[in-house]
Amino acid sequence: MYSLPEARVSEVRAFNRFYTKVIGALQARTLDSPYSLTEVRVLFELAHAERMETGELRGLLGLDAGYLSRMLARFEGDGLITRERSAADARKQLVRLTPAGAEVFSGLDRRSAGEVERLLSGLPEPDQDRLVAAMGTIRRLLAPPAERQPYVIRPPRTGDLGWVVSRHGALYDAEYGWGAGFEQLVARIVGELDFSRDTGWIAEVGGERAGCVFFVRQDAATAKLRLLLVEPSARGMGIGRRLVEECLRHARAEGCERITLWTRDCLVSALRIYQAAGFELQSQEKGRENGVEVTDQMWARDLRATS
């Protein structure tokens, strides 16, 4: 019987075995060419740069120096690249594709795109969207922190409110089993928004929606923070904290003296954000959502002390 960490490791390894077979990574030659997958990747990097220093190329792809040197010697022999010493530092070697090399890569690139198109064409369009979104999630989660895309916070646009309802329903059902009733509740909250007095913010990562929060005016002195959500793929980037800060900033600017929110005690990450932002627990009571026991909580923050 696997422990949870062992099961996760096993699942990742199974995915790796499956996907390397899908893309043909185990084959000695790639795209019916005389080159391996690693060699095609080197050609890709050279095709997207005017020229590259061999040390930069080696570091970018994590290649052994001797292996890269033998590969470049083969490319040079095939007439695909030229090599020259750097004028600034004679110890460094610069590599660039020849016109023949650019032509070879262009053919490989077209074949690669064609294979991906054939892979996707075997799936219905909704499944294509799911596959591409899942691949984007993998890239974002496994990318080194310095390579992760920055996020932006913007006002809501047409189409965002439907996304807010859909993602709340899907995520909270998947993570907590709250069902369609919770999605209907979110739909009612969204339907009651009055943008003559209320407002909201959408977080985007790489042009994709990744989070949201809304400011809802209650009366002249009080507002509510509502519908905070951050996509799983974007968690750990500080988006939730930033959305809450934006809501509080707006509440102060609007002259609110107090802001409240409703949440549940199982939303641990959100609770940490609320506590760090100065909210305090006011009351809580047991309830049920789709047959699941929940603890509803009301939190509040006095804005006068920091206004």
Ordered by start, the domain boundaries in the chain are: 4-147, 151-306
Looking at mean pLDDT, say which of 98-112, 130-144, 198-212 comes out highest: 198-212
Q: Is the pLDDT of residue 60 over 90?
A: no
More confident residue, 301 or 9: 301
**CA 95 → CA 68, 86, 98, 99, 172, distances in Å?**
12, 10, 10, 13, 51
31 against 134, higher pLDDT = 134
Section 142-147 average pLDDT: 65
Distinct helix (H) and strand (E) counts, the chain: 10, 10
- The predicted pLDDT at position 189 comes to 97
pLDDT digits (tens, 9 = 90+) for 246-287: 999 999 999 999 999 999 999 999 999 999 999 999 999 999
* Residue 181 in this model has a pLDDT that exceeds 90: yes
85-134: pLDDT as tens digits: 877 777 788 899 999 999 998 998 888 888 888 888 888 888 888 888 88
Return the CATH class of domain 151-306: alpha beta
Give the pLDDT score at 53. Answer: 87
CA distance linking residue 24 with residue 20, whole number of Å: 6
**d(C-alpha 237, C-alpha 178), whole Å:** 26
**Better pLDDT: 49 or 25:** 49
How is residue 307 annotated by DSSP?
-
Please provide residue 203's backbone torsions phi and psi, each rounded to the nearest 5 degrees.
-95, 140
pTM of the model: 0.57
Question: Can you tell me whether residue 30 is helix, strand or coil?
Answer: coil
pLDDT at residue 35 greater than cutoff 70: yes
Q: Is the pLDDT of residue 305 over 80?
A: no
Residue 240 has pLDDT above 90, yes or no: yes
Domain 4-147, CATH 1.10.10.10 — does that match? yes
pLDDT grade for 307, boundaries at 50, 70 and 90:
very low
First-to-last alpha carbon distance for the chain, in angstroms, is: 57
At 300 the pLDDT is 97
pLDDT in tens, 4-20: 577 778 888 888 888 87
pLDDT given at position 3: 53
> What secondary structure letter does DSSP report for 147?
G
Check pLDDT > 60 for residue 297. Answer: yes
| Selected residue with higher pLDDT from 4 and 80 | 80
pLDDT at 162: 97
